Amino acid sequence: MLLVEGTSGSGKTLVSRYIEETLGFERYAIDGWLMKYLARPAGFTSLGQMFPTLPRGEDFWQEFLKRRACYDWEDARDILRRYEQGIRRREDAVPESEKKIIGYVLFGNYMQALDRSLREKRDVVQEGGPKMRRIFFRLNQLQKTHT
């Protein structure tokens, strides 16, 4: 597994796509998953519109470990469609409880697919910024206390 890390606009996607295309690695990027599985199917084209729909805070990650398998992609897309007008106006339209559902679905499916690829000993490149590294590190710590 290779980690490609950097700040916004630093070229993470360019580098990870190069690794994907030339070395045959599977590429994982949470932004790409957000657009491919949630935003576009719900009728959105801007990644910036999606960030306010995601949960924030330590309490989310503790709940995530317990509830990540309770919802599916369609549940999350329904929420985006229900609050579509407010999201497009860049309002904080999605209630916190429903942001958590979106987060459960997005991060749960992402991590499940990444774990599956690693278990199957596939070559993987994961791109993300320092925030994603902190999230995955914290999740690893929380999982150790829950097992």
pLDDT of residue 91: 86
Q: What is the DSSP string of 88-133?
A: HTT---S-HHHHHHHHHHHHHHHHHHHHHHHHTT--EEEEE-HHHH
Band of the pLDDT at 9, cuts 50, 70, 90?
Answer: confident
Mean pLDDT of the chain: 87
pTM score, two decimals? 0.83
> Which H helix or E strand runs over 28?
strand 26-29
What pLDDT, on the 0 to 100 scale, is given for residue 39? 93
Return the structure tokens found at 6: 């950097």
CB distance 128 to 3 below 8 Å: yes
Mean pLDDT, residues 125-139 taken together: 77
**Residue 114: Cβ within 10 Å count:** 19
Reply yes or no on whether the pLDDT at 84 is more than 80: yes
Work out the percent of the chain whose per-residue pLDDT is above 90.
Answer: 50
Tokens encoding 42: 């719900």
Q: Choose among 2, 9, 61, 51: nearest CA to 30.
A: 51
* Helix or strand holding residue 4 (H, E): strand 2-5
CA-to-CA separations, 79 to 8, 47, 76, 86, in angstroms, rounded: 27, 16, 5, 12
